[in-house]
Structure 1
């Protein structure tokens, strides 16, 4: 059975001290150096920037937040500075929440970006949630509105995590989780942005969210139906041991989450990679899954806790990475890779890659289906350099491991345009992927990511 067609068909020293009301560099370009742009075979540009360290948090404008001490600094509520009455559109319930906020300095992008995707890692105890928003600066002057890119909690009892529909101005718009320049050929682009994180807790409460990472991938990738063929490299002969889960064994399960497993390529892929790193839900986490002997209940769990109530699906990219980061000492983000060489370096360092692609059945030998948008896990390469993937669009767990021709796979993943059988044109992801990795400084995954400009 072919995987679900998603809406990506396909869219183009102060640690512990309060930072209440301090400007801390607000409005000025970040003093922290941006990662160097990775060389590419074409004029594609991709830049991922994250705020993760105590120095990063200190560089922003704080309004009622402080930096939590520890090996992994995070911002949390020190003293609420306001309240918000929030009418949850998915429950009909209106509640009052206490708020505090942190706003990044302006981060300069060294090209005119036409897409931005934010992602974050956070803890949201009961009675708390966060909102992540982004405002971009246009190359010709002026700025976007503050676009809300997620109202998010790890659970679903206090509020329903959601993207926000209908956000746009005359030059840009939001497609679920992605800020897009409306007319890529019109010369407009985004050359800087800032991110605002609002932390919310129940009125009169004492709990606080804690945000460990927030960042964004800015990119411009030229329209391309094909990409240059690559030669096998450092990943050849490397295969990571990643658990195998089929989404299709869950067809009909919990239809309230996007009609069940047929649509669960993204959470199924996310769960495979999490379990590769030894992160699994507890028995208590899975108490809600019925019956108790239900097959692969962790996949149902991932679907429930990645579900976007506005999009009505489990394919919101940053909601999947935020879910992954709720597990012990895990970091996760959304970005683009520029080549199979980048992918091989990560595989060689032990990092599986969750890739987004669209294709017709004739374009990927061995798949047996076509799709307008699908996630799978790149887990290695054969000695000849072909791709080894855990493809959740398989009839059983045993059938999940697939070997796909390298040339075909790199093209369907890295291209931005594709021709359909009827002669019309559709789009591709241009190398979008999720990256999950343990928070272990100095580890091979962290070193490999830093070499690719990701921290």
Structure 2
């Protein structure tokens, strides 16, 4: 397989990585946080090994009651959420992708201030929401820097499950910066990590929209973010095989490459659909599928039409791709009683604990061909699914960059896989420094879990 082109996210973040490499302070370079603050007004959280990753979300009726409601109302029940009750007002929104301007009723919910246990260099928000026809949701973030100043309210995503004329186009927002931080598609990032500046606290805001005079409402079930200060590094410490040796989950296998050339309006066609293809594998592992009505638009001659559907419903019209991390999580959560988050793992031990509990995960990594034996390609950004581990601890991955569905199951050497996934810096084929994802992953799971599954997720900060 040929080397994949750089993703837009990779191109945009290259400058930030280069700036950080120039003057990283000693504490950051070694992975030791300068200090570990205590969150105020937050629920107790399990500590993560080196305390460089903090996932926090608002999901309960009590959580939503603690926020600032302006026209929204917390909804109790088996799955608590936020709904639009009494509009706070009406606003015109001009869709940058269609040029149309439409009036919308809106209401907002603003979270309490959250202080991560480590001042953060990056923050990735994710959300789970139901958006019936004619409704949509905007997620925003505002933070406080370690110098005491605040960020603007940054838009982290404009989300709707549909893409008809009744809603704006699903989109990230380009060109957001205040000179100290930037939004790279779906990621808040300090512009110059080497300066020592960090984000010490943040709050999230959800704005719910509907057509004026309507009575439908979006429902937000989960609003959260992963804040992290993962050290800049080309190499990560090696780990020994853990609790998931010999465990392999029965996750469906789907190839993105069999969709090559199909629906090029979505990221150029199926050859670029690693993220939605991986998402669809795990959605179906949990027993969910699109309906026949959902798939009616797909050419009946195409194999695995649900993969085409996933690509369409995760497509980010600004990013011009299907690889927006929170959009994939939000898509997974549109299925019955499903939840999804974007977070980071600290090592393969985190992945092993998830697998041992029956929870597969999707990982994001970049590498040249020689860095991952058996892959047969290099990539500036690729998603695949960890489904198990061999007896000697090597990774069993459903890699959608395969020639056909039976070829999707691959075994990759533990040390190679762990390094290409968890590092934050790498060299491309030309020897230039480029970014790595630092352990970014998607974790999808149903609302009903076993006790063991809840404990594992809780240890990762996910509730």
Which bin holds the TM-score, normalised by the shorter protein?
over 0.9
- Distance change >3 Å, CA 326–CA 447, structure 1 → 2: same
Question: What is the DSSP-based 3-state SS (H/G/I as helix, E as strand, rest coil) of the residue aligned with 1:133?
Answer: strand
Query: Does the 8 Å contact 2:54/2:118 carry over to 1?
Result: no
Q: What does residue range 289-304 of structure 1 map to in structure 2 within 5 Å?
A: 289-290=298-299, 292-304=300-312
User: 1:35 offset after TM fit, Å?
Assistant: 1.9
Q: Determine the structure 1 residue equivalent to 2:286.
A: 277
Q: Deviations over 1:307-356 (max 9, x none)?
A: 00000000000000000000001000100000111110000001111000
Work out the CA distance in 2 between the residues paired with 1:451 and 1:258.
36
Are 1:113 and 2:113 an aligned pair? no
Q: Determine the structure 2 residue equivalent to 1:148.
A: 155
Q: What does residue range 160-199 of structure 1 map to in structure 2 within 5 Å?
A: 160-199=169-208
Compute the RMSD of aligned alpha carbons.
1.3
Query: Does the 8 Å contact 2:54/2:226 carry over to 1?
Result: yes
Query: Does the 8 Å contact 2:364/2:440 carry over to 1?
Result: yes
Q: What does residue range 32-431 of structure 1 map to in structure 2 within 5 Å?
A: 32-40=42-50, 45-157=52-164, 158-290=167-299, 292-431=300-439
Q: Deviations over 1:391-411 (max 9, x none)?
A: 000111111000000000000
Query: Does the 8 Å contact 1:269/1:375 carry over to 2?
Result: yes
Work out the CA distance in 2 between the residues paired with 1:387 and 1:97.
48
Question: What is the DSSP-based 3-state SS (H/G/I as helix, E as strand, rest coil) of the residue aligned with 2:277?
Answer: helix
User: 1:107 offset after TM fit, Å?
Assistant: 0.3
Q: Determine the structure 1 residue equivalent to 2:7.
A: 6
Work out the CA distance in 2 between the residues paired with 1:9 and 1:364.
19
TM-score after normalising by structure 1: 0.94
- Distance change >3 Å, CA 397–CA 5, structure 1 → 2: farther
Question: What is the DSSP-based 3-state SS (H/G/I as helix, E as strand, rest coil) of the residue aligned with 1:273?
Answer: helix
Work out the CA distance in 1 between the residues paired with 2:410 and 2:40.
44
Work out the CA distance in 2 between the residues paired with 1:8 and 1:399.
28
User: 1:127 offset after TM fit, Å?
Assistant: 0.9
User: 1:204 offset after TM fit, Å?
Assistant: 1.2
Normalized per residue, the structure richer in helix is 2
Query: Does the 8 Å contact 1:239/1:379 carry over to 2?
Result: yes
Question: What is the DSSP-based 3-state SS (H/G/I as helix, E as strand, rest coil) of the residue aligned with 1:211?
Answer: strand
Query: Does the 8 Å contact 1:35/1:48 carry over to 2?
Result: no
Work out the CA distance in 1 between the residues paired with 2:118 and 2:452.
30
Number of residue pairs the alignment of both structures matches = 435
Q: Deviations over 1:86-128 (max 9, x none)?
A: 0111111111000100000100122220000000000000111
User: 1:5 offset after TM fit, Å?
Assistant: 3.4
User: 1:419 offset after TM fit, Å?
Assistant: 2.2
User: 1:443 offset after TM fit, Å?
Assistant: 4.3
Work out the CA distance in 2 between the residues paired with 1:109 and 1:450.
16
Work out the CA distance in 1 between the residues paired with 2:258 and 2:453.
31
User: 1:427 offset after TM fit, Å?
Assistant: 1.4
User: 1:194 offset after TM fit, Å?
Assistant: 0.3
Work out the CA distance in 1 between the residues paired with 2:228 and 2:107.
30
User: 1:57 offset after TM fit, Å?
Assistant: 0.3
